[in-house]
A and B are shown apart, each in its own frame.
Chain A
Amino acid sequence: MSLVVALTVSGQAVAAEELLENVVVRNRLFRVQGKLEVSPTFGLAPVTWLTEHYNFNVGAGYNLLETLAFEARGGYALTRQTSTARRIAGMFLARDPNAGAQATVDDFSNLWEMNANLVLGIRWAPIYGKLSLLSETPVHFQAYLWAGGGAANFSRQSIVYCTDVDRGDTVNCNSWLTESRMAPVGSAAVGFRFFTHQGGALKLELRDYIYSDRYRTGIDRVAAEQGNNATGTDGDRGLANIVLIDLGYTFFF
């Protein structure tokens, strides 16, 4: 009899502890449902190949539920070609097609630079958690997935298609072929936002912009260097990605 009572009491004590564990962690100190939010962010590419992007965005969103929100993000990316791209271009330009060195060439993939961009998407944040910062300060966070689409303005400067070459003591290209276009983009992200107070959260995410790549193949370099800017075959060449790490802050209203 005593044993049964002891086990019952002990079991209830454990049950109470389990309840506390669950309830406490489930209580959300920071509730976002029904709130509007504005999020300035800055994004840069963790790995660069031919282009670099520094994306300044502002997002405006509405939290339909604690776990679901709609967001519009827009902004402008400062871009440039990497030193690797410039080195490739310089070395390739030095190979004179008039002397028989590689008279035709295909342009490179993933060379478009995204400038103005606007995407709309849905954010799903099924995870709400707390972590212990320096063993003292509980930090509340949400983990989320984001998916959406929109449009962006792209520009592109070829690194193999030069329409005005100066072949003196040193070889210089005075005019690389440049193009620009508006194109649809898809965007997906995974991220965290760490609440700092009821009115804001620090935001960290990995975001991918996906767009249709397009470039020329079979470029006649001799014709190109004589000023012909339409040699070769232009066309869609599959999908390309711009992956950025975004750091920002969200203000809730």
Chain B
Amino acid sequence: MSLVLIALLGAAQAAVPALPSGLPQNLVTQTEPSAPGGAPLQPQPATSPEVPAASPDVTEGPAASPRVTEESVAAGPVAEALTPAAIASDAPLAQDAQLMGALPEPDPDKQRLVAGAPLYNPNVAVHIVQRKQFTERGRHELTLYPATTQLNGKFTQHFGTALSYVYHLHENLGIHLTPRYNWSAQESPFNLELVEKVRQQGQPATTLLLNWAATGGVEVTPLYGKFAIYDGLLAQFSLVLIGGAGIGQTSHLLKPVTFGDGNQRFAETYGDTGRRFVGEIGGGLRVQIGDRFTLRMEVRDLVYTARVEEVNGCNLEDLNSMYAIYETQLEGNSLEGVAVRGSCNVGAFQGDGGTTGENRIHDVPRARDLVMEPSADVLNNVGFHAGFSIIF
């Protein structure tokens, strides 16, 4: 008696796959073919010895779970059951006339049921994509993007590293916090070609560099799917859509790299152009590896306004004051006593410049040129992010 109960328990476990608690049961129910009027399809009397007397119930509606019969589950060793051939020979046949009539493949041998689904009908909607093997709800996901690269670098080119934390509120909805740092933010080869060949460059607003940004927002996964690589490795993936907002730190090139005697390289200089509001939209693919790891490939667009009105906190009035002193002492390096606002960082324009090869005071006229004719633009920094996640 206990054996029968245990066997029935096993069948029930097979009938209701080990779903995550956060998943609605109707995710695994089959919906095609359905019985007319939505009435449950009742199993027909078995006509084949292969079909068990207790044929699986195939019902329509969210409460129905696909069933695997005791016989199909218990038949043979596991290794045998893992081969398609074994299933094909042991699995029950779909004898239901209504069921058969609605299926595209009339050959009963190709309609053997496993877990209530015709095994060799690839388009049946059972278990193909609806059932997720791993739950997301209530879990945390930490993603490292070791290298991000700007895809639309017309006048600028950014390379960086990003980290993202996602808390999955629901299966398809999470909130994220994504800080990123661009360890290489410089003008693009195209802009440098412009400077070198025709002594032109993009307007200051279009050549604004993004040093770092931190955004937060939501992440939704509206599409879910699976794929097989060469019919071998099976993987699950989801389409991820991302939206958010945050802040970012910008800067602008003041002096490009220069070369002195003996081809000595002098580093470039940058001016701080302030923090900006940053909007973020993006999307990508998230491939599940086991229940704790994922690979992500995303394209994220950081949108920010780029009006250059201040450099190192100094506006045009401040820079004019500094420029007046600069003109009187081209060989000097002192801006002592200059009358500027408190937010103006005079110190950024002083000093010997270290590896830049010249005193920083020479950045004063460059910064002044940037803000003298303010330009405005809305920049889209579209970046490709590839990373891997740990889910916990």
- Which residues from chain A sit less than 8 Å from chain B, CB to CB? 2, 5-6, 8-29, 46-47, 49, 67, 84, 88, 91-92, 102, 105-109, 126-136, 138-139, 141, 143, 160
Distance between Cα atoms of A143 and B227 in the complex (Å): 9
Residue with the highest number of chain A CB atoms closer than 10 Å, among B2, B6, B18, B239: B6
User: What per-residue 1/0 map shows which CB atoms of B81-103 lie under 8 Å from chain A?
Assistant: 11010010000000000000000
- The majority secondary structure among interface residues of chain B is mixed
Residues of chain A contacted by B197 (CB below 8 angstroms): 105-108, 160
Instruction: Check A15 against B129 for contact (C-beta < 8 Å).
Output: no
* Distance between B167 CB and nearest chain A CB, rounded to angstroms: 23
Instruction: Check A9 against B73 for contact (C-beta < 8 Å).
Output: yes
Of A2, A5, A21, A102, the contact of B234 (CB 8 Å cutoff) = A21
- Which residues from chain B sit less than 8 Å from chain A, CB to CB? 2-3, 6-7, 9-11, 13-14, 17-18, 68, 72-74, 78, 81-82, 84, 87, 114-115, 117, 119-130, 133, 151-154, 190, 193-194, 197-200, 222-231, 234, 237, 239
Residue of A nearest to B16 (CB): A13
Instruction: Check A49 against B190 for contact (C-beta < 8 Å).
Output: yes
Distance between Cα atoms of A49 and B190 in the complex (Å): 8
* Distance between A74 CB and nearest chain B CB, rounded to angstroms: 28
Of A5, A16, A135, A136, the contact of B115 (CB 8 Å cutoff) = A16
Known: A20-B114, A22-B234, A126-B229. 19 other contacts (CB 8 A): A5-B7, A6-B9, A9-B11, A12-B10, A13-B68, A16-B68, A16-B73, A16-B115, A18-B82, A19-B114, A20-B119, A25-B128, A27-B121, A67-B230, A84-B154, A92-B198, A130-B225, A138-B123, A138-B125
Instruction: Check B11 against A13 for contact (C-beta < 8 Å).
Output: yes
Instruction: Check B200 against A2 for contact (C-beta < 8 Å).
Output: no
Residue of A nearest to B17 (CB): A17
Residues of chain A contacted by B190 (CB below 8 angstroms): 49
Residues of chain A contacted by B153 (CB below 8 angstroms): 47
Query: Which 8 A-B pairs give the minimum distances between C-beta atoms?
Result: A129-B227, A9-B10, A131-B225, A13-B14, A27-B122, A132-B129, A29-B122, A6-B6
Residues of chain B contacted by A84 (CB below 8 angstroms): 154
Residue of A nearest to B27 (CB): A135
Instruction: Check B234 against A20 for contact (C-beta < 8 Å).
Output: no
* Distance between B61 CB and nearest chain A CB, rounded to angstroms: 15
Of A9, A24, A127, A128, the contact of B9 (CB 8 Å cutoff) = A9
Of A2, A8, A10, A29, the contact of B123 (CB 8 Å cutoff) = A29
Residues of chain A contacted by B114 (CB below 8 angstroms): 16, 19-20, 23
Distance between Cα atoms of A13 and B12 in the complex (Å): 9
Distance between Cα atoms of A6 and B229 in the complex (Å): 34
Residues of chain A contacted by B14 (CB below 8 angstroms): 12-14, 16-17
Residue of B nearest to A48 (CB): B154
Instruction: Check A132 against B122 for contact (C-beta < 8 Å).
Output: no
* Distance between A200 CB and nearest chain B CB, rounded to angstroms: 16
Distance between Cα atoms of A104 and B41 in the complex (Å): 85
Distance between Cα atoms of A164 and B144 in the complex (Å): 56
Residue of B nearest to A110 (CB): B190
Instruction: Check A21 against B127 for contact (C-beta < 8 Å).
Output: yes
Instruction: Check A15 against B81 for contact (C-beta < 8 Å).
Output: yes
* Distance between A86 CB and nearest chain B CB, rounded to angstroms: 13
Distance between Cα atoms of A105 and B193 in the complex (Å): 12
Instruction: Check B127 against A24 for contact (C-beta < 8 Å).
Output: yes
Residues of chain B contacted by A17 (CB below 8 angstroms): 14, 17-18, 115
Residues of chain A contacted by B133 (CB below 8 angstroms): 21
Residues of chain B contacted by A135 (CB below 8 angstroms): 130
Of B11, B17, B225, the contact of A132 (CB 8 Å cutoff) = B225
Distance between Cα atoms of A16 and B84 in the complex (Å): 10
Distance between Cα atoms of A67 and B87 in the complex (Å): 26
* Distance between A77 CB and nearest chain B CB, rounded to angstroms: 20
Instruction: Check B10 against A23 for contact (C-beta < 8 Å).
Output: no
Residue of A nearest to B7 (CB): A9
Residues of chain B contacted by A13 (CB below 8 angstroms): 10-11, 13-14, 68, 73
Residues of chain A contacted by B231 (CB below 8 angstroms): 26, 128
Of B120, B152, B193, the contact of A27 (CB 8 Å cutoff) = B120
Distance between Cα atoms of A5 and B74 in the complex (Å): 10
Residues of chain A contacted by B87 (CB below 8 angstroms): 16, 19, 23
User: Could you name 10 residue pairs across A and B whose Cβ atoms are closer than 8 Å?
Assistant: A2-B3, A9-B74, A13-B11, A13-B73, A16-B115, A18-B82, A20-B117, A23-B119, A47-B154, A143-B227
Instruction: Check A19 against B82 for contact (C-beta < 8 Å).
Output: yes
Residues of chain B contacted by A27 (CB below 8 angstroms): 120-122
Instruction: Check A127 against B228 for contact (C-beta < 8 Å).
Output: yes
Residues of chain B contacted by A108 (CB below 8 angstroms): 193, 197
Residue of B nearest to A14 (CB): B18
Residues of chain A contacted by B73 (CB below 8 angstroms): 9, 12-13, 16
Residue with the highest number of chain B CB atoms closer than 10 Å, among A12, A49, A102: A12
Residue of B nearest to A18 (CB): B82
Residue with the highest number of chain B CB atoms closer than 10 Å, among A24, A47, A102, A135: A24
Distance between Cα atoms of A131 and B229 in the complex (Å): 15
Distance between Cα atoms of A8 and B121 in the complex (Å): 28
* Distance between B232 CB and nearest chain A CB, rounded to angstroms: 9
Given A9-B7, A25-B128, A26-B231, A160 and B198 contact (CB-CB distance below 8 Å):
yes
Instruction: Check B194 against A88 for contact (C-beta < 8 Å).
Output: yes
Residues of chain B contacted by A26 (CB below 8 angstroms): 228, 231, 234
* Distance between B194 CB and nearest chain A CB, rounded to angstroms: 7
* Distance between A55 CB and nearest chain B CB, rounded to angstroms: 19
Residues of chain A contacted by B115 (CB below 8 angstroms): 16-17, 20
Distance between Cα atoms of A84 and B153 in the complex (Å): 14
Of A28, A92, A107, the contact of B200 (CB 8 Å cutoff) = A92
